[in-house]
Structure 1
Amino acid sequence: MTKGPLATRLLTTALAATALALPGMALADHHANDGTTMHQHHQAAPLIPRDALFGNPSRAGGQISPDGKWLSWLAPKDGVLNVWMAPVDNPDGGKPMTDAKDRPIRQYFWSPDSQSLLYIQDKGGDENFLLYGVNIASGKETTLTPFEKTRVLLIGGSESIRDKILVGLNNRNPQYHDVHLLNLNTGELTMVLQNDSYAGFMADDTLTVRMAMRQNAEGGTDYFRVVDGKVEAEPFSATAMEDSLTTNPAGYTNDGSILYWLDSRGRNTAALYAETVATGERTLIAENDKADIGGTIRDPKTGVVEAYSATYLKTEWTATDPDVKAALEFLGSNLDGEFGIQSRTDDDGKWIVWNDPLIAPSSTYIYDRKAGTLNHFYTSRPELEGAPLQPMHPVEIASRDGLTLPSYLTLPPGSDADGDGKPDHAVPMVLFVHGGPWARDGYGFNTVHQMLANRGYAVLSVNFRGSTGFGKDFLNAGNLQWGLKMHDDLIDATNWAVEQGITGKDKVAIMGGSYGGYATLAGLTFTPEAFACGVDIVGPSNLETLLSTIPPYWAPLVKVFHDRMGDPNTEEGLALLKAASPLYKADQITKPLLIAQGANDPRVKQAESDQIVGAMKKAGIPVTYVLYPDEGHGFAKPTNNIAFFAIAENFLAECLGGRAEPLGDVLKPSTAQILEGAEHVQGLEEALGS
């Protein structure tokens, strides 16, 4: 839930990520920790097919055009996600508007004038996203940023200028994004501001660049006014390093008179402030003691905040506008579970609303505010209706030094008869670690949680120190703590689960992607007896080489990594990075390890996985290594994602004794290359030979 006609329609995290972020069945008759068989625990729960969780959704990403005439969504066309469109009064009369044949389209949005559908796409996971437009009248598709090795960023959209947007392009210099005005209907690009040092820009509703941001020597951010297309020499505002990830400008009102800030300066959690541009006077709008203020709902016509959210264990919305408050209350009384707004018309009369019931597949609705009606648009994964989906339990776990770790636990079906969030008997557990690390786990339907729980495992996700959303003190407690206190938090959470009777000490696997992959490698090297096995997805093994190979467009933000991980340019920092790198302790690994990597990953290069696999082979330690030649930082193609989780669940079944859907011929439609250790995963050699 965010502002206005364009911002609500573009998931800019895919464009501007600055972290490692980063998803006929026989029962295996293995033994659980308490001596009873997994079959006895879960015989009443059918296995949920992998395809139902990780295959293409039937529909996703539903939106309504700004003029309210059209509905759009993502859906498969010949097995590949494409953008579809239908008249608003005939949602079932859709037709595909794009023709992607290989890589799925995952991000799209409407042009402000409702004349075209826009989407971004990279090649093979290289994250060089280009912008494409499809004219809805003619069906003609245009590459709006026709450049090589270029990544487009959205700088700004407008309520009053409907046929243009501001974009950033790094085609001139790969490190910096120049600001261009893009005419969405003609494709004309006009340079607005050449950038030789700034990390980002902000514009107002007139598509005038008003602010530039740049890292300062203290590791924080300097904010500069832009006047007549020129950046002023001195910043008008600045943060120190401690506030650099918890303080950000949040946009102007449409008349340009108010600048909103999410700001942690002089406090712990980020609060929402309104700053009068002419005088600099600031007004506190919202604050929360436990969590940063996160999203806002903004009036499309004025840009004024109408509601705001804070997410500690769950998301809570507070409306400041009475009409929006009434709308949210109406939705809350008519929908079970979590919900939110994912698209709005210009007149704000119709909303597209997502609903996550948590123990049923998510659905999307068309909410007519004037008529007071809520009509079902689609269910994303109807094949999950009636499946034994499990509730997620928010829990608070104490770290050894007194921090509270907000966490989420999912239990296997049939294991918790009284529904108190603890299994009747200890069960195997997977500690599933989020990426980032400057990101967070949240409450809601989670496909990995559901799959692993269905296979017989408790699943625990922990917001360890360094996670975002819980204030700067919690975030900064993770500074220079890779492999140290950040890892201690994961160990403390694992010990908590053992002490609570959720799992047994020798029945815990660690698994994760990106930073979660690093945590997996750290778990098996630094604490080799803590986990029964590990699954590392695109995780770095050598922090020194990780920092030396970051994408060029991260250069303006590199000090974030140096201040929070260790500076390789100093003797002390380099020593810290090496000490925190699992590569140098690869010979300590004693437990089974599965590694998966995308060959085109621009964030965590293939060399990160190659290095540790090579070190393990040199030490005579077995490892299973899966490489995807057409993927990047994670696996976008459903056939590849399904193949990976097929391998992972059979790996975990052999290690922890859970259930697994047999591999069958799941590898055939994927590009998975098993470079090492097929013999260590049940059924994998047979699947390769079939």
Structure 2
Amino acid sequence: MTYLPRECNANLNSGNRGDGIDSRKQPDSVPRYHNMKTTLPRLLAVIAGMFVAGAHAQPPPPTRPETMFADPDMQHAKISPTGRYLTWLAPKNQRMNLAILDRETKQLRWLTNMKEENVVNYAWAKKDRLLFVQQFAGREQFGLFACDPDGGNFLIINPLERVEADADGRGAESLPGSERDLPKSLISLLPRDPDHILMDRGRGRSGLGDVIKVNIRTGKETIEERNYINARAWIADANGVIRVAICTDLEEPIRIKYRKDAKAEWRTLGEFSKDLSLIASEASPVERHWRPSVFAKDNRTLYVKSFMEHDKSAIRTLDPETGEWGPVLFTHPRVEPGDRLANYVLRTGGLTSRAAPDGLIFNSAGELGGIAYTDEYPAVQWLDDKLGQRAKDIDRALPDTRNAVISTTSDGTLSVVRAASDRDPGTFYLYDAAKQELSELGRARKGIDPKLLSEMRPIRFKARDDWEIPGYLTIPIGRPATKMPMLVIPHGGPYGPRDVWGYSDDVQFFASRGYAVLQVNYRGSGGYGLEFQLGGYKGYGRKMQDDLTDGVKWCIEQGLADPARVGIYGASYGGYAVLAGLTLTPELFCCGVDYVGVSDIERRGMPRTFTGPRIFRESMAIRDLDPVKDIAIIRATNPVNHVQNIRAPLFAAYGKNDPRVQFDQWQVLEARLKQHGKTYEIMVAENEGHGFRKLENKLEYFRRVEAFLETNMNVPAGRVNVGPAVVVPSAKKTE
């Protein structure tokens, strides 16, 4: 069953603005129910009741790991282009699988039955055809598959090293044995073509690929465009014609090339000497440049994100035929438009539109309707009055959450809305524009009670050199905000990503155990403009680490943190920051948790004899320390060289299949920890990569982290271990 809260319906139908968008008035708790029959009653457990947010006078009991880190009950809910089907990811077999509801027949069923690997993402490619993605064993090798809404006509488009070869999860070995098996990435879903999508099919390790048209019903592949221009990225127009390419052989400058139609010659629109962010999925700009996003409705104008005249970038239009620039459509004094994390398309198999990283939102007619950005909180500048009014109406009906339309039908009459906050992992609603109704579809995590969780607050502090550093501080609910035990959680990357306001499993898990959580967007973090990004370059263990240290000292000076009970927790680059914190500022931290972190930056960086392509050399010379000229600095900030300085216990966790931080990063660190007799615990997951995705591994990991922190963070007087160290044995330990 699903219900429509009467207050939500009244708000949307009424012309009375009531208490306004920011009102915290609670909706009427009396629901109006709609009957919904199903063939899978158990799956309907994702349809949950309403909740009422509020504060707690006393600290609520800690949320169990099994509740906090269980796979979401509902994730990535979407409406089909015609509006007939609703789809979402949900747990089955302890893996995320794809479920579908036929809104006409009311039949609810599973589309997949995977038992080995999660379905990590999916998309409605056509009105009656879906694409979905799996990742193999954490190796960031993604398989792409297609099926009909009834699960039939299953097709492998991009094979995995090992595939669960049909929707019922029957596995089969699959190794590249033909041209069809070469890795492919999505270019365009070709919305006007009922049968095909455009993909880039790789040519070995060159990084170059040809454009192919794939029939997602038969699997037939035909070459549309041979890559003779060294294209690293392609942009198709609304008719599916490739008309923009970002090109380089990595020796010559990166060139943005354009052609009027498929028969015209390519010509250069822009040229940039060394900005790899134009072609790399992890955006880390090093110079003023502009980047094409997508074609406008007229199929001539390009939307562009430009750093040429704005440090925080601007969204503009460009007529590629005349070279004429249009007016600035959006710029912001503190942040860039868009979502830097959307650049990490490999994490979800490449089903992200090029418009997403730039924050472009289009209406059903294909016109630019709004531009999304994140300053302290996520926001949208609406350009389309109807979309803006719809957003206001939804916000008024759901005043306690940040609300976003995440999927819509082709005609725009039906939309899926995700309502979430820093304390609420989200509820999905179906919005009917004609009826002005919101109907609840389900909650992301039915076991989470938002009123028991803690508020995330934006902060800003001055670093030692007077730079203003943004971040977030989460204060445990029901506890005094004075002399709290505190965990610092530096984000990964480091260049490109940033922390944002919103729900975080990790943050809320730690806050529910009484730890304040400090998240610092140190220099080098993405989204704050070119100067802020450049400010962190060459900053491993230096400026970036100083920003973390200064954030901790600011919290201590404000009386928020107990100086004797400050721990540090981080993954990937954040794991490096943990190790740098424990070795370079050992007096600051009482314990550390290193999750898939870099321990030896000298080993992980480019070899001292590296003579790679010019653009790589010059771009990295700006971002990273030189392995020859800066070797003294590298060794001074390399954690494995300073393990003897560690005073506090360490918990470490690594995946054997990690393609980003190789497992030998742990092996080198462990040898040094043993050499110096330091206290540590280790968890190694054999079938995981850069972070643990499988439910059983996630739960074991957080149970062990919880116990480790309980031992080392919650001692009233604090504890910095400076005595003789003892190696802690572990069943998962790898010699």
TM range (shorter): 0.7 to 0.9
How far has the Cα of 1:359 moved from its partner?
2.9
Task: Give the CA deviation at 1:296.
Answer: 3.6
1:225 equivalent to 2:254? Answer no
Alignment of 1:450-489 (within 5 A): 450-489=508-547
Structure 1 distance, partners of 2:546, 2:368, is 40
Query: Of 140, 143, 153, which residue of structure 2 is paired with 1:130?
Result: 143
Distance 1:411 1:184, change over 3 A: same
Q: Which consecutive residues of structure 2, in runs of 5 or more, have no partner in the other structure?
A: 1-55, 161-174, 177-181, 278-283, 339-357, 717-724
1:606–1:558 Cα change, 3 Å: farther
The CA distance in 2 between the partners of 1:103 and 1:557, in whole Å, is 37
Distance 2:271 2:381 in 1: 29
- Structure 1 residue 442 and structure 2 residue 508: aligned? no
From 424, 435, 441, give the equivalent of 1:377: 441
CA separation in 2, counterparts of 1:90 and 1:434?
45
In the aligned structure 1, how far is the partner of 2:711 from the partner of 2:136? 35
Instruction: Determine the structure 2 residue equivalent to 1:657.
Output: 714
- Note the 1:451-600 alignment, pairs <5 A: 451-548=509-606, 558=616, 562-566=620-624, 571-600=628-657
Q: Is the 8 A contact 1:215 1:559 kept in 2?
A: no
Other-structure match for 2:387: 324
**Structure 2 vs 1, CA of residues 214 and 505 (structure 1 numbering), >3 Å: closer, same or farther?**
farther
Q: Which secondary structure state, in structure 1, belongs to the residue aligned with residue 137 of structure 2?
A: coil
Q: 1:557 to 1:350 in 2, by over 3 A?
A: farther
Q: TM-score, normalised by structure 1?
A: 0.83
Contact 2:258-2:320 within 8 A present in 1 as well: no
Give the Cα–Cα distance (whole angstroms) in 2 for the partners of residues 141 and 556 of structure 1: 44
Question: Post-superposition shift, 1:190?
Answer: 2.0
Question: Paired residue for 1:304?
Answer: 367
In structure 1, what residue type is equivalent to 2:329? I
Q: Which residue of 2 aligns with 1:45?
A: 60
Offset of 1:220 from its aligned partner?
7.8
Is residue 184 from structure 1 mapped to residue 216 from structure 2 by the alignment? Answer: yes
2:248 and 2:523 map into 1 onto residues whose CA distance is 23
Deviation at residue 415 of structure 1 after TM alignment: 1.3
The answer on 1:99 being equivalent to 2:87 is no
Provide the residue aligned with 2:691 in structure 1.
634
Cα separation, 2, equivalents of 1:526 and 1:66 = 54
Residues 1:290 and 2:334 are matched in the alignment: yes
Deviation at 1:324, TM superposition (A): 0.7
> Cα deviation per residue 1:100-135 (whole Å; 9 max; x = unaligned)?
112211211111x22222111121011111211112
**1:226: how far off?**
5.2
Q: What is the SS of the residue equivalent to 1:383? A: coil
TM-score between both structures, scaled by the size of structure 2: 0.78
Secondary structure of the equivalent of 2:393? Answer: helix
Q: Is the 8 A contact 2:564 2:590 kept in 1?
A: yes
Asked which structure has the greater RCO (Cα within 8 Å, sep 6+), the reply is 1
Deviations 1:391-450 (A, max 9, x none): 11111121111222221111112114xxxxxx0x31100001111112000001111111
1:211 corresponding residue in structure 2: 244
CA–CA distance in 2 between the matches of 1:609 and 1:81?
Answer: 29
Q: Distance in 2 between matches of 1:493 and 1:429?
A: 12
Question: Are 1:86 and 2:129 counterparts?
Answer: no
Count of matched residue positions in the alignment of Structure 1 and Structure 2: 614
Shift of the alpha carbon at 1:264?
A: 1.2
Classify the secondary structure of the residue corresponding to 1:130. Answer: strand
* Equivalent residue, structure 1, for 2:342: none
| Alignment-derived partner of residue 57 in structure 1 | 72
Q: Kindly tell me: are residues 240 and 466 of structure 1, through their superposed partners in 2, closer, same or farther at Cα, counting changes over 3 Å? A: farther
> What does residue 322 of structure 2 align with?
279
Q: Structure 1: which amino acid aligns with 2:666?
A: S
Select 1:394's aligned residue among 458, 478, 481.
458
Alignment of 1:238 with 2:268, yes or no, is no
Seen in structure 2, the aligned counterparts of structure 1 residues 555 and 152 have a Cα distance that, compared at 3 Å, is farther
Residues of 2 paired with 1:211 and 1:583: CA distance? 46
Going from structure 1 to structure 2, the CA distance change for 1:228 and 1:372 (only over 3 Å counts) comes to closer
Could you give the per-residue CA deviations for residues 569-622 of structure 1, whole angstroms, max 9, x where no partner exists?
x62155544443222222322211111111111111111121111122122223
SS in 1 for 2:394: helix
- Return the offset for 1:333: 0.8
The alpha-carbon distance between structure 1 residues 188 and 289, as it changes in their structure 2 partners (threshold 3 A), is same
Other structure's SS at 1:173 match:
coil
**Is contact 2:273–2:615 with CA below 8 Å preserved after alignment?**
no
C-alpha distance in structure 2 between counterparts of 1:151 and 1:481, whole Å: 35
Q: Distance in 1 between matches of 2:613 and 2:667?
A: 25
Separation in 2, partners of 1:465, 1:89: 52
Distance 2:615 2:421 in 1: 38
Are 2:380 and 1:340 aligned? no
Q: How does 1:615-630 map to 2 (within 5 A)?
A: 615-630=672-687
Structure 1 residue 560: Cα displacement = 8.2
- The verdict on how the C-alpha distance between 1:356 and 1:601 changes in structure 2, with shifts beyond 3 A counting, is same
RMSD over equivalenced CA pairs, Å: 3.0
Cα distance, 1:88 vs structure 2: 2.8
**How many Å separate the matches in 2 of 1:104 and 1:301?**
32
Identity, % of aligned pairs? Answer: 28
> Would the alpha carbon gap of residues 657 and 71 (structure 1) be closer, same or farther in structure 2, given more than 3 Å must change?
same
> Residue 251 of structure 1: which of 283, 294, 319 is its match?
294
TM-superposed deviation, 1:470: 0.9
CA apart distance, 1:173: 3.4
8 Å contact from structure 1 (residues 566, 574) kept in 2: no
The answer to whether the aligner puts 1:265 opposite 2:308 as a matched pair is yes
Alignment CA distance shift 1:558-1:81 (3 Å): farther
**1:100 maps to amino acid:** M
1:643 matched to which residue of 2?
700
